[in-house]
Structure 1
Amino acid sequence: MHTRKFRTALMLCAATALAAAIPVPASASASAPATTESRSPARVVAVDCFSNAQVRPGDFLLACGDGNNRLIDIHWSHWGQTSAVGRALDAVNDCDPYCAAGKFHTYPVIVRLDRPETWKTDPGLRQFTRMQLVYTDGRPAYTERVVTHELWD
C-alpha cells in the first residue's frame, strides 16, 4: 500500500514539474499580462547606385556608370512588403552625336518594384531586386514597351 501511495505521489510531482517547465502562450494564460509588442516585418527599400537604402525615392539613377538614364519625379501610389508601384518620368540621354553632346528626353512610365530579398549590407532591411518599367506614351529608340531591370545590391 505504501508503494502505491509513494508511486502516486511521485507521478504527481513529476507531472507538476513537467507542467511548470512547458511555456504557456500568453493567449492561453489568463494570468499572463497582455503584450502590445509585435514583431514588425523588415523595412523594404530600394538601393541606389551609391548603396543608399531609400524608401519612396523621388528619383532613381538607372545608369550608374554614366548617369545617362534616371527616373525623375517619381510618385508612389503603393509601397508595401512585397511590391511598390508608382509613376515617373524616365529621363534618357539620346547620346546623339555622342553622350556628352546628347540631349535628355523624358518618357512617362509606370514603375513596379518587387522580389524583395534580405539586403546583404544590412540584414535588418529587405531590398527590392527587380524593377519593371512600362512606357505609357512614347519610348526611347530600340526600347521595348516593357523593360525589366535586375537591381544591384
Structure 2
Amino acid sequence: MTRTAVMFCAALGLTAAVGTASAAPAGSPPAARQQVRTPVLVDCLWHPQVRPADFLLACGDGNSRLVSLHWSNWGTDSARATGINVVNDCDPYCAVGTFHRYPVVVKLDRSEPWKKNPRVEHYSRITLTYPGDRPAQFAPVMTYPLWN
C-alpha cells in the first residue's frame, strides 16, 4: 500500500512538472527575471524593511530617528514619506539632552544590490527635507548615504 501511494505521488508530481513546463512559451525568461525587484531599507540590525513606520538614523547612539512615517510611494527608483525626525540636542551632553521633534519629508533612492544578499536591492541614500523648524546644526535639506 505504501508503495502504491509513493508511486501515485511521484506520477502526480511528474504530471504537474510537465504541465508547468509545457505551459510556458519556449523563449520566455524565468519568472524571477520577469519580476521587478522592489528595494528594501536596511535597518541598524541588518534587517530588510519595506515601508517601516519608524527608522533609526543614528545606530550608534540612538540620538536621531524617524517616527510616524507615512509612505506615499515605494518604487524601484525611489520612495517618499512624511514623518517626524526626533533628534537629541545633546545639551549639555547627549546623556542628559532633550529630544525635539521636527516634521520631515523623507526620500530614499539610489537602489543597488545589498552586499549581505546581492539578489536584494536596497536604497543606498536618504534625503531629509525640513519644511519648517529643524535642528540648529542641520541644513534645510540633508542627504546621507545608507549602510550596506
What TM bracket, shorter-length normalisation?
0.7 to 0.9
Q: Give, in whole Å, the separation in 1 of the partners of 2:40 and 2:75.
A: 10
Structure 1 residue 106: deviation in Å?
0.6
1:76 alignment partner in structure 2: 71
User: What is the aligned-residue RMSD (CA, Å)?
Assistant: 1.7
In the alignment, structure 2 segments of 5+ residues that lack a partner are 1-21
Structure 1 residue 120: deviation in Å?
1.1
2:89 alignment partner in structure 1: 94
User: Does structure 1 retain, via aligned residues, the 8 Å contact 2:112–2:121?
Assistant: yes
Distance 1:138 1:125, change over 3 A: same
Larger Rg: 1
1:41 alignment partner in structure 2: 36
User: Does structure 2 retain, via aligned residues, the 8 Å contact 1:43–1:124?
Assistant: no
Deviates more, 1:137-146 or 1:38-47: 38-47
Structure 2 residue matching 1:144: 3-state secondary structure: coil
Same amino acid, percent of matched pairs: 50
Q: Which residue identity lines up with residue 115 of structure 1 in the other structure? A: R
The two structures have a TM-score, normalised by structure 2, of 0.78
Structure 1 residue 124: deviation in Å?
2.0
1:142 counterpart = 2:134: no
The two structures have a TM-score, normalised by structure 1, of 0.75
Matches within 5 A, 1:15-34: 33=23
